[in-house]
Amino acid sequence: MFLSLKLEFYIVFAGTMTKGTQAFGKRHNKTHTLCRRCGRSSYHIQKHTCASCGYPAAKKRVYQWSVKAIRRRTTGTGRMRHLKKVQRRFKNGFREGTVAVSQKKRTQTAASN
């Protein structure tokens, strides 16, 4: 009799005393917030690190677990404020501080020659 009551007690309260999957439904505090570098909600509030990009580390966090995920986040998927200008500058030999010759002067010199 006593043994069966004890077993029933454990069966009833076993679900509420775990720390695993069942307990995650009862959690209400936010552990992660938006990251300043990657914009994802992966910045851990207490650890002060981003789980996605590794901010504030100098180098971006990248793992080869999923090639598809890397393709989504790689260079060329964002704004590329600086890199989109580099190709044009490379074509012209990275020259700076020069002024282009006006089209009028160019046609006059070509006509005189």
Structural domain harbouring 29: 2-93
**Within a domain: 113:** no
Q: How far is CA 103 from CA 9, 97, 99, 109, in A?
A: 93, 19, 12, 10
- List the pLDDT tens digit at each of the 113 positions of the chain: 555 555 555 555 555 678 899 998 998 999 999 999 999 999 999 999 999 999 999 999 988 888 888 888 888 988 999 999 999 999 999 999 999 889 988 888 888 87
**Within a domain: 107:** no
**Within a domain: 35:** yes
pTM of this prediction?
A: 0.49
**Within a domain: 103:** no
pLDDT the model gives residue 74: 87
b/e burial code for range 21-43 (CB count within 10 A of at least 16 → b): eeeeeeeeeeebeebeebeeebb
pLDDT the model gives residue 15: 52
Report how far apart the first and last C-alpha atoms of the chain are (Å, whole number): 117
Domain of 64: which CATH number? 2.20.25.30
The two tokens of residue 98 are 């020069």
**Within a domain: 101:** no
**Within a domain: 20:** yes
**Total domains, the chain:** 1
**Within a domain: 62:** yes
pLDDT the model gives residue 16: 60
pLDDT the model gives residue 12: 52
